[in-house]
Amino acid sequence: MEVNKGKYAADLSSIREAQARINSFIHKTPVMTSESLDAISGRRLFFKCECFQKGGAFKFRGACNAVFSLDDHQAAKGVVTHSSGNHAAALALAAKLRGIPAHIVIPKNAPQCKVQNVVRYGGQVIWSEATVPSREKTATKVLQETGAVLIHPYNDGRIISGQGTISLELLEQAPEIDTIIVPISGGGLISGVALAAKSINPAIRVLAAEPKGANDAAQSKAAGRIVTLPETNTVADGLRAFLGELTWPIVRDFVDDIITVDDTEIIEAMRLCYEILKVAVEPSGAIGLAAVLSDSFRNNPAWKDCNQIGIILSGGIGNHRT
């Protein structure tokens, strides 16, 4: 399908603009290959190592694009988010680079390491209760008091465009790629990656990798509408968000399929990353490798000619990386 400019929250030109905007701030992450993992998978694999991105994950691309998209007047009032994960740390870091405040709403039960990452990058922590209503209410209060701009972790065109810069780099580094496998959660990463990749080469397949215990995207694709789940249960704690209204149409139209894997497969992939690639990734970051090694991918005749596969590795252990 042709990428219809204006129909979606981002497009190739907004992604190229993002690249120009963030290029001097981000790491151009390496692409690694491994003959051992090629032999295990039976394909040629290209690992785009976003775990080496600043902030420890691809999230810094989108956060940086969002922060540097603001005009000076908006920017002076700062940014807000109520994500407590990699996006929070990435937003704090991007705001620090621009010299503006980042107000990060964090629930009281958040792991200490996540709080530390935000503090390390100069983010201002505002505590909320653990519930989603409390987090949203606290964020709204901060917005009202400060006039800062809310930067959603994925349901935002600036974020999607920033994440899409991965495809621009990857297809330059490994132009032979015919397939890209991408972790899916809220859909910001895969939306940007799919829009950019399919605009450059419409024949490229874009496949999502999702935990079976948080398979809202697979259910959404099957139902033809956004499906949310009453609860999620997976070791890949970064992949528990649901698709948003801006990411869903892109996932619906440009993601060829969703491969679901169980936690055992994710942990095995994480082990292979560590032992063979020598790269420390968290479960959410290793899921692309889990997908390519899964029986459901291997045995699906639709993917038998996916031979040159880009896999986005993201998220280090502890998430701190600059």
320 belongs to the binding site for a copy of itself (CB under 8 A): yes
Give me the least distance between CB of 35 and a copy of itself, in Å please. 4
Instruction: Output DSSP code: residue 148.
Output: P
Is residue 218 a contact point for a copy of itself (CB under 8 A)?
no
Binds a copy of itself by CB under 8 A, chosen from 52, 68, 248, 303: 52
318 contacts a copy of itself (rule: CB under 8 A): yes
Residues 24-63: b if buried by 16+ CB within 10 A, e if exposed: ebbeebebbebeebeeebebbbbbbbbbbbbbbbbbbbbb
Residue from the set 1, 109, 112, 278 that interacts with a copy of itself by CB under 8 A: 278
CA atoms of 94 and 5, how far apart (whole Å):
28
Which DSSP string corresponds to 149-217?
EE--SSSSHHHHHHHHHHHHHHHHH-TT--EEEEE-SSSHHHHHHHHHHHHH-TT-EEEEEEEGGG-HH
Assess 32 for contact with a copy of itself (CB under 8 A). yes
Q: With binding defined as CB under 8 A, does residue 316 bind a copy of itself?
A: yes
Q: Is 59 a catalytic residue?
A: yes
Residue 35 sits in the site that holds a copy of itself (CB under 8 A): yes
Q: Which is nearer to a copy of itself, 67 or 195 (CB)?
A: 67
Round to whole Å and give the CA distance between 239 and 244.
Answer: 14
Q: Which of 59, 114, 198, 221 is catalytic?
A: 59
Q: How far is the CB of 219 from a copy of itself (least distance, A)?
A: 32
Q: Give the residue, chosen from 160, 197, 279, 306, that forms a contact with a copy of itself under the rule CB under 8 A.
A: 279
In the residue annotation, 84 being an active-site residue is answered as yes
Considering beta carbons, is residue 37 or 209 the nearer one to a copy of itself? Answer: 37
- 318: phi > 0 → left, psi -120 to 50 → alpha, else beta; which? left
Does residue 277 bind a copy of itself (CB under 8 A)? yes
- Give dist(CA 52, CA 64) in Å, integer: 16
Please, what is the end-to-end C-alpha distance for the chain in angstroms?
Answer: 37
> Minimal distance in Å, beta carbon 38 to a copy of itself?
9
- Residue 54 is a binding residue for a copy of itself (CB under 8 A): yes
> What amino acid occupies position 273?
C
Least distance (Å) between residue 158 CB and a copy of itself = 23
Q: Which residue has the tokens 């496949």?
A: 207
CA 159 – CA 75 distance, rounded (Å): 16
Stretch that binds a copy of itself, among 6-14, 103-111, 245-253, 268-276 (CB under 8 A): 268-276
How many residues make up the chain in this entry? 322
Residues of span 2-31 touching a copy of itself by CB under 8 A:
27, 30
Count other C-beta atoms under 10 Å from residue 247's C-beta: 31
The one segment of 67-75, 162-170, 219-227, 310-318 that binds a copy of itself by CB under 8 A: 310-318
Q: Which long-range contacts (CB under 8 A, 24 or more apart) does 199-203 make?
A: 199/3, 199/11, 199/12, 200/12, 200/167, 200/168, 200/171, 201/171, 202/1, 202/2, 203/178
Instruction: By CB under 8 A, name the one of 235, 249, 274, 308 that touches a copy of itself.
Output: 274
Query: Does 280 interact with a copy of itself (rule: CB under 8 A)?
Result: yes
Nearer Cβ to a copy of itself (51/160): 51
Residues catalogued as catalytic: 59, 84
User: For binding to a copy of itself (CB under 8 A), which residues are involved?
Assistant: 27, 30, 32-36, 51-52, 54, 56, 274-281, 316-318, 320-322
